[in-house]
């Protein structure tokens, strides 16, 4: 790539900014790309965008800060991310500055305007949610059977119907959880939409809200924690409902009570899943924000890949010297969480899930070849169908994302893989 001479003029694309300690977050809203730069780097960008040459911008920086900036390197990286272009390049249409394509299979719920979102994500609503949680804890303490263990899912009657109903209502719970994120993020004016994807082999619904980087930490925490708070509120509401039935205040049919108890259990599991910090869950983002990490997951994966390359004494080691020491300490601690968490998740996949799926296939083959099998019952078919939809589908999505990740890494010129240096 050609460097920037002192007489060069540089076009700076419009960007939004948010101060964050001694750095600044800058964002290209059209392409939804967000970078963190040193606060003094902003002076250079401002100087260039008023039409000063590269040399003039560097001279002003020296005057103000008393040291010479490596302005060429700074601009090269910003150009690679599409934030600046030399004036010659812009007349050729620039590079890499196309707007971000809207992902397929997403839903914006545009009827929820920022004004409505602000009204809903208010203190009174949060207080009511917390009050419901406190009240339900009191109820369970006085009547422990309000909270059932996993055996609740083995419905003694109407197994298939109650199982499908539990799954359908649980998916509605997932949607409400995501709407909680969407509403709290949208209340801050950030564009958001709901889609689905995977975390390892778990199929997830997800809320896209990357522009939340341009909001103060307080607003970020609120958007991340809205989901778990809604899960807890769902659990509490169901417990209060079951308690009212058991106290005789309302008439609750047996099947409805079973369904409510099952939903308490599956929503609790969904809440616990949020503590799986080794993938990008709500609590992962809370932790990453607490420790001021810019990209904890990617930095940790590069750190581990570097460690592996050093152990093998081959392969590229990526320079991570640009990451502040404090953040590197977080990366090293998180690397342990990443390794142990993923080892357990993959262990469960190999020891529990794959054998189960294989067993179901074996039963299916026995059924098709006219041998006695479990396949004759709607109950068994229900379990098999759900396993293949959620776990089989999750594994397929995971394989696809691994394949795409590899392909991206091979042809990427992006920041984390920017400076391969040979192993020491």
Partner 1 sequence: MKKLVVRKLEPVRTSSAAEC
Question: End-to-end distance of the chain based on CA atoms, in angstroms?
Answer: 26
CB of 5 to partner 1, least distance (A): 16
Q: Confirm if 413 and 81 have CB atoms less than 8 A apart.
A: no
The β-bridge partners of 28 are 33
Q: What is the closest distance, in whole angstroms, from the C-beta atom of residue 414 to partner 1 in the complex?
A: 7
Minimal distance in Å, beta carbon 34 to partner 1? 4
User: What are the C-alpha distances in Å from 69 to residues 38, 58, 72?
Assistant: 11, 7, 8
Measuring CA to CA, which residue among 79, 41, 56, 85 is closest to residue 322? Answer: 41
**Farthest CA pair distance, the chain:** 87
- 274 in helix, strand or coil? coil
**Nearer Cβ to partner 1 (134/344):** 344
Could you tell me the two tokens for 130? 């917390």
Token pair of 227 as six digits? 């989901």
Q: Assign residue 23 a region: left if phi > 0, alpha if psi is -120 to 50, beta otherwise?
A: beta
Distance in Å, CB of 248 to partner 1, minimum = 31
Q: Are 260 and 235 in contact (CB under 8 A)?
A: no
Is 94 or 416 the residue whose CB approaches partner 1 more closely? 416
Q: Which two tokens stand for residue 107?
A: 């839903």
160 vs 222: CA distance, rounded Å = 38
Shortest separation between residue 226's beta carbon and partner 1, angstroms: 9
Closest to partner 1 by CB, 120 or 244: 120
Token pair of 246, please?
């058991």
Q: How far is the CB of 206 from partner 1 (least distance, A)?
A: 4
Decide: 103 and 195 in contact? Cβ < 8 Å: yes
Task: Please identify, using beta-carbon distances, which residue of 315 and 416 lies nearer to partner 1.
Answer: 416
CB of 366 to partner 1, least distance (A): 27
Query: Whose Cβ is closer to partner 1: residue 31's or residue 366's?
Result: 31
Nearer Cβ to partner 1 (171/399): 171
Cα distance between residue 38 and residue 64, in whole Å: 14
Closer CB to partner 1, 139 or 174, in the complex: 174
β-pairing, 16-20 vs 10-12, is unpaired
- State the minimum distance, in angstroms, from the CB of residue 249 to partner 1: 30
- Closest CB 190 distance from partner 1, rounded Å: 9
Structure-token pair, residue 288 = 């990453």
d(CA 234, CA 344): 28
**Closer residue to partner 1, CB minimum distance, 139 or 186:** 186
Nearer to partner 1, 83 or 241 (CB): 83
């Amino acid at each position: 790539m050609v460097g920037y001479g002192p007489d060069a003029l540089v076009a700076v694309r419009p960007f939004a900014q948010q101060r964050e300690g001694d750095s600044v977050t800058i964002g290209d809203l059209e392409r939804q790309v967000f970078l963190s730069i040193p606060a003094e780097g902003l002076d250079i960008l401002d100087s260039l965008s008023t039409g000063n040459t590269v040399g003039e911008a560097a001279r002003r920086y020296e005057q103000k800060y008393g040291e010479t900036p490596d302005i060429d390197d700074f601009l090269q990286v910003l150009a690679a991310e599409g934030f600046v272009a030399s004036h010659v390049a812009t007349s050729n249409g620039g590079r890499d500055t196309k707007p971000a394509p809207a992902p397929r299979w997403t839903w914006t719920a545009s009827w929820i305007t920022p004004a409505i979102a602000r009204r809903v994500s208010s203190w009174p609503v949060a207080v009511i949610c917390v009050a419901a949680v406190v009240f339900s804890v009191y109820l369970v303490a006085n009547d422990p059977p309000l909270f059932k263990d996993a055996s609740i899912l083995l419905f003694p009657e109407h197994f298939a119907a109650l199982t499908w109903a539990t799954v359908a209502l649980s998916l509605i719970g997932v949607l409400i959880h995501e709407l909680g994120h969407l509403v709290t993020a949208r209340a801050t004016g950030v564009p958001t939409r709901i889609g689905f994807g995977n975390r390892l082999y778990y199929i997830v619904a997800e809320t896209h809200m990357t522009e939340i980087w341009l909001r103060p930490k307080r607003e970020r925490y609120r958007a991340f924690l809205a989901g778990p708070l809604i899960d807890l509120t769902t659990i509490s509401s169901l417990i209060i409902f079951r308690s009212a039935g058991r106290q005789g205040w309302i008439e609750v049919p047996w099947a409805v009570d079973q369904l409510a108890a099952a939903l308490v259990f599956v929503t609790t599991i969904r809440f616990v899943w949020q503590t799986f910090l080794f993938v990008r869950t709500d609590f992962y983002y809370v932790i990453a924000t607490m420790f001021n990490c810019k990209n904890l997951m990617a930095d940790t994966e590069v750190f581990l890949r570097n460690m592996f390359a050093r152990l093998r004494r081959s392969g590229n080691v990526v320079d991570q010297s640009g990451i502040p020491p404090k953040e590197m300490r977080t990366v090293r601690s998180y690397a342990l969480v990443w390794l142990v968490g993923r080892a357990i998740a993959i262990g469960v996949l190999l020891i529990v899930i794959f054998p189960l799926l294989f067993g179901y296939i074996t039963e299916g083959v026995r059924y098709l070849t006219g041998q006695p099998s479990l396949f004759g019952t709607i109950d068994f078919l229900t379990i098999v169908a759900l396993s293949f939809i959620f776990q089989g589908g999750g594994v397929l999505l995971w394989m696809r994302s691994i394949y795409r990740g590899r392909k991206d890494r091979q042809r990427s010129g992006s920041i984390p893989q920017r400076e391969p240096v040979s192993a020491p």
